[in-house]
Amino acid sequence: MKKYLFLFLLLLIPVLVPCKLYAMDISVGATTWFAKVDQQFSSNFSGFDGETKCDPGFLYGPVLSVKFNDDFNLTFVYLYGKFDISEEDQLSGLTSKYKLKRKDSDLALNYRLNNYFKAFLGLKYIGFNISQQYKSANMGEITDIKHNGYGPGLGLSATFPITDNVFLFGTVSGFYLWGKESRGFLWDPPNSGTLEADSTDYGINSNLSIVYYIAPASTTISLGGRFQYIKTDYRNITIAPPRYEVDVDNSGKTKFYGITLTATYSFGI
């Protein structure tokens, strides 16, 4: 049900933008984020208890901005990337290596507070999946992990001019997502089963960058850094077959931080 919040926001736009739209300014482009990942789990329901090691990797994708008038604009960002991860269970000594595929998307309606600050409200999506097998201390071979979370985000952005075409741009925001996670596993092969859980992802995003506007080309280049912190809590954990509930405290913490580079082209319609 949470995914329908995206549709709800789109339906709100005509209400929140109280003017006729005779013309719009549109910016389209691409962004990349070279990120390092730190993960730590507490009694994770896969049976892993400890820290993971992750090689830095790239997230990349499209960006879009639609300016309706001087006060309102809509922004959209989608990022996708792959990370090589290794982990060693502190209890069993088992070491596993696998590839994490991650998706991160933001849709936000921005409102200009003054010449420097904007407030924004929107919807965020975070998802990841692991398709290859890796060993767990108490659940044999784990495979086909899928995690998806949807929910609202709220934040503030600021733009300060340095010169006529160079600006300092920063954002800070928080989010709260509802989702689900599922895992397949081989228990004493060839026996197999599934594990499912409800999840909540909540945390913060922050970004600081230098923006350079190339007027003759109607192009904007942005270079900076981004930090994201996510706390994940699991509940209603069930394992089948046979179907039974697992009553344990399960949570995880993830940090993404690194360098961002974005290029956009602007035009009017």
Name the residue ranges covered by the structural domains of the chain: 4-13+27-227+248-268
pLDDT of residue 194: 83
* 152 contacts 189 by C-beta, under 8 angstroms: no
Strands (E), 116-218: 117-130, 134-136, 140-161, 166-186, 192-214
* Predicted confidence (pLDDT) at residue 3 exceeds the cutoff of 80: no
Quote the pLDDT of residue 189: 58
Lowest mean pLDDT among 71-75, 132-136, 152-156, 265-269: 132-136
Q: pLDDT band at 195, cuts 50/70/90?
A: confident
Average pLDDT, integer, range 193-211: 93
In the three-class reduction of DSSP (H, G, I as helix; E, B as strand; rest coil), residue 230 is classed as strand
- Summarize the confidence of residues 236-244 as an average pLDDT: 79
pLDDT average, residue stretch 146-169: 97
Could you tell me the pTM of the whole model?
Answer: 0.84
Q: How would residue 44 be classed by pLDDT, with cut points 50, 70 and 90? A: low
% of the chain exceeding 90 in pLDDT = 57
pLDDT of residue 87: 72
pLDDT of 22 strictly over 70: no
Note the CATH architecture for domain 4-13+27-227+248-268.
Beta Barrel (2.40)
Lowest mean pLDDT among 138-142, 179-183, 219-223: 138-142
Q: What is the mean pLDDT of the chain?
A: 84
Handedness of CA 261, 228, 179, 59 (dihedral sign): positive
With contact defined as beta carbons under 8 Å apart, do 82 and 49 qualify? no
Identify the pLDDT of residue 244: 67
The predicted structure's pLDDT at residue 248: 65
Cα dist from 151 to 90, 106, 254, whole Å? 34, 10, 18
Average pLDDT over residues 49-70: 87
Q: How confident is the model at residue 258 (pLDDT cuts 50, 70, 90)?
A: very high
